[in-house]
Amino acid sequence: MSVSDLHDAVLDWYAEAQRDLPWRRPDCSPWGVFVSEVMLQQTPVVRVLPVWEEWMARWPTPADLAGVASGEAVRAWGRLGYPRRALRLHAAATAMVERHDGEVPSNLVDLQALPGVGTYTAAAVAAFAFGIRVPVVDTNVRRVHARAVTGVEHPAPSLTRAESDLAASLLPDSESEARLWNVGVMELGALVCTARGPRCDDCPLLGRCAWVLAGRPAYDGPPRRGQKWAGTDRQVRGRIVQLLRESDEPVSRAEVEKVWSDEIQRERCLDGLVADGLVEPMSDNRFRLPA
């Protein structure tokens, strides 16, 4: 299968099958794209959509978000999980105001210099907000590449140099096609070439997919660990943040203690939240979101 055949198949499919998501529309601002990329990290689209819409209505520019307390960002984060992302968004918005006249920077170097912005987020914003020709490699993209090109069921547990090189080699030459290719492969992985139960009969690459042509061999790489939730520190931290988010006033230690019965785990999580800047302790043994 030639690279051009691969491009044609995915781009033609995406033109018909793409979801109408507000951050993909031509009138979406770079800030809207930036916010969506942070929210979509490890979070399904269906959960992100209502929160993204609320954020963009409330804080349509970086300056709007930077102008409120970081605790308001955490409060508005709702149940998206990993609330440190809300703090990172607030810090990034503040940096945009201080360094870039309140605008999202339009090059990879400046994007990566923003607080909390890694390689993936910088590439995604550069590609989707500014049309820069750069590979965007998330879990969905890695899975499509692994199956269609490399011939294995699942990619490695973490991004490898070989995967990055493959993604770069598959990128179309033109900026406009590169942008569509990035989002098209991502969409294909999200809707069809899923981790469990891939819908191969609906895939535009059926007949070209190296994994299918090899007989769909079972994954034999390093163990793939699922994410636990019940009983984990993540659950405890989430409950504490939820308690503070739902209260208009600082909460007492006694209220925090009702959140989780295991004192050692609860106090460890509370200390971690304070260290991360998600919870602010007060002198009267009460706690609040950061002011």
DSSP assignment of 121-174, as one string? HHHHHHHHHH--------HHHHHHHIIIII--SS--SS--HHHHHHHHHHS-SS
Bridging pattern class, strands 251-252 and 286-288: antiparallel
DSSP 284: T
Considering Cα of 279, then 243, then 234, then 37, what sign does the dihedral take? negative
> Exposed, middle or buried, 193 (CB in 10 Å: 0-12/13-18/19+)?
buried
What's phi and psi for 287, nearest 5 deg? -135, 150
Determine the angle formed by the axes of helices 30-39 and 119-130, rounding to 10 degrees. 140
| CA 41 to chain CA mean position, Å | 2
Distance CA 58, CA 14 (A): 31
Q: Which two tokens stand for residue 10?
A: 């995915």
First to last CA, the chain: 56
- Active-site residue, 37 included: yes
Q: Which two tokens stand for residue 149?
A: 């090109």
| Closest alpha carbon to 289 in 65, 85, 71 | 71
Kind of pairing between the strands at 280-281 and 251-252: unpaired
Could you say which of 16, 37, 53, 255 is catalytic? Answer: 37
Q: Could you tell me which residues are beta bridge partners of residue 281?
A: 287
d(CA 65, CA 83): 16
Whether 24 and 18 have beta carbons less than 8 Å apart is answered as yes
Catalytic residues, which ones? 37
